[in-house]
Amino acid sequence: MEGGAYGAGKAGGAFDPYALVRQPHTILRVVSWLFSIVVFGSIVNEGYLNSASEGEEFCIYNRNPNACSYGVAVGVLAFLTCLLYLALDVYFPQISSVKDRKKAVLSDIGVSAFWAFLWFVGFCYLANQWQVSKPKDNPLNEGTDAARAAIAFSFFSIFTWSLTAALAVRRFKDLSFQEEYSTLFPASAQP
């Protein structure tokens, strides 16, 4: 896209799906979206076990229902957040106000950093609960691959969300400079 305010082209421009898909923050958002599906899908599908001696199912992570609930909640909310910001990425070129674009980029920075933190907490929590799980609770090793996958993709999500925040910061800095330059030198900014 040609230079505009905060990473968007001229306001009101035509939607270009090819340009959208090629943007690094969009790619990272889609990858984060897929990682969140893996995390909550793994826990929902195979994170709960039934015992022959007990009538109730229990969480595979040290019989701690909070660990499973945290993993599912963070996964589902990250999934929805990714969808929201993908929609914002599609709508972003249509935003004509520089102040609104600035708010969108700043919210992207804050939300991405917040999710990186939540994924870090989730990774630590799930890994700790998995480490202290007792083998007698799951003698047949049912769902162990899914539990490990949820832990691994929680770890990977830390990096995808951190990179998304870093890209948003870079986008903010680069394009703030362009905005300031065009304000200081209006004659050179116009073709």
- In this structure, is residue 13 part of a structural domain? no
Q: Is residue 186 part of a domain?
A: no
Q: Is 44 a domain residue? A: yes
Query: Closest Cα partner for 79 from 118, 108, 36?
Result: 36
Residue 72 belongs to domain spanning: 24-179
Quote the percentage of the chain above a pLDDT of 90: 52
pLDDT band at residue 169 using 50, 70 and 90 as cut-offs: very high
Tell me the H-state helices in the chain. 17-22, 24-46, 65-91, 98-131, 144-184, 186-189
In a domain, 11, yes or no: no
Main-chain phi, psi angles of 48, to 5 degrees: -120, 135
Kindly report, residue by residue over 24-75, the tens digit of the pLDDT: 999 999 999 999 999 999 999 988 888 767 778 888 898 899 999 999 999 9
148 in a domain, yes or no?
yes
> Structure pTM?
0.83
Burial bucket for residue 179 (CB in 10 Å: 0-12, 13-18, 19+): middle
Q: What is the pLDDT of residues 173-191, one digit of tens each?
A: 876 666 666 666 766 545 5
Domain count, the chain: 1
CATH number of the domain bearing residue 83: 1.20.140
1-23 confidence digits (pLDDT tens) = 445 555 555 555 667 888 889 99
82 or 10: whose pLDDT is higher? 82
